[in-house]
Amino acid sequence: MYFIECIKDDCGWGTIKNQPEFNQSMEAIVSWFEGNSKLIGELKGVDRKTYSLPLVHDKQESYRVYKTSFNLSYSIIPIARSTHTVLMYPIGYDSEIGGVFDDYEARGFFDKTLNNLSFYLLIICIILSLFSLLYLKYLFIMDE
């Protein structure tokens, strides 16, 4: 397991000063990793003033990276994997993690026909949109 610590006390949204209990719990986690893992290096973050909006953040962050190992029961793996979903889709569309929201199978003649028709309509719409770009280019050329 790798643990990344922000060296500055508050690298997040700037709300630590208003939540001292939360800050203390995070400091306890950091101190545990400092005592029970190996420091493998420090990272310098990207200078956000150069690559981002200047109003968002104006200082470069620094991070410490710790490495440690845990002995976990295999029964924890399905629980950990169950959290790997983004907007109702499991990461990598792995159905073992969770159901895929729009995964369906057309059954019966009517459903299969409707499914095929919608697929062909989608292809026709894409082709027409590409032709519309060419047509717009043609109109601009003819206008000159």
User: How far is Cα 39 from Cα 56, in angstroms, rounded to an integer?
Assistant: 30
Give CA–CA dist 131/82, Å, rounded: 43
| Confidence at 125, pLDDT banded by 50, 70, 90 | very high
Please tell me the pTM assigned to this model: 0.49
The pLDDT value recorded for residue 131 is: 95
- CA-nearest of 50, 49, 44 to 63 is 44
Mean pLDDT, residues 36-64: 71
| Domain residue ranges in the chain | 2-71
Most confident of 5-9, 27-31, 96-100, 116-120: 116-120
Q: What is the mean pLDDT of residues 83-109?
A: 77
C-beta atoms surrounding 53 within 10 Å: 8
| Separation of alpha carbons 31 and 29, rounded Å | 5
